[in-house]
A = this chain, B = another copy of it.
């Protein structure tokens, strides 16, 4: 009865999180796990936390090993999915957790990534407020889904309600994110070393160069912004996972605080995974660790003329693997919440 699943890039952090969630999912059965340099090893030797999948062995990532599954999840470095998935049948559900299929603008792709451009797939953030509804309707039945960038979807979820409702200005957004290093993957680079991260807060991609910026702008355009601009700064902090996003936008003059709150509460009123906290409450990343939940706290700073949003997500779950599975549920007509928890692992 269950859908057969392959996970490509199963030795990385995003791949591991896909597998952790899939292992608890009643409608998916993981048949194949692939890797590059780790092919041939037992999965449990590379991902020792995945005890229930100890029977799986990593195989090479190739069109052949990925063929013959109902669902293929890809957790590969950007640039690796495009050629690979061209060979998969159209009826196979393919969910790419990499960046290759997120951007509709080829010029954005060229400016921020470069290399071959393979076109955009359905963007995997179901709750995203877009003109006249949410992204959810586009995901139903889609067989090609691009899971979001973790930072990008967090900023978009934080601000799209206000933009769609016309209560904040889409120009001059400022977002600063405290993020855990797991978002950077297992790449062996000096800034990813424990001694560099412990006891320190380290910014990167400062000043407009971060690859998630065009992805945020794309989402905000869907929400109604003509020409959104954003100052975006991520800061690595010493927690393995989590994003605490402070995203602010200028209040449209004359808007009441009540109207602001109403915009967000209406956007997410019936969402199982996105919650707007009551007045005066703000989330912490530990509240959502391991969960597919985004928590949003909201304040109107009259003196500064800005709406301030604080959003907490687990970068590996709601930011990546959870969004992928939630989108796959929608694609396949399963209940959207199947296999996904709303409760964080805290403390």
Contact = CB atoms under 8 A, between A and B. Distances in A.
Contact of A24 (B206, B285, B293, B341): B341
Interface in A225-277: 229-233, 235, 237-242, 244, 246, 248, 250, 275
A97 to B, nearest CB: 16
A297 interface: yes
B198 A198 contact: yes
A82 interface: no
Copies per complex of this chain: 4
A208 B306 CA distance: 10
Interface in A277-296: 281-291, 293, 295
Contact of A172 (B48, B229, B304, B343): B304
Interface size class of A (residues with CB under 8 A): 35 or more
Contact of A195 (B180, B202, B275): B180
A172 to B, nearest CB: 7
22 contacts: A48-B281, A49-B291, A51-B275, A51-B291, A51-B342, A172-B306, A174-B174, A174-B176, A181-B194, A193-B194, A194-B197, A194-B238, A198-B199, A198-B238, A201-B284, A203-B297, A208-B302, A208-B304, A230-B304, A231-B304, A237-B239, A238-B239
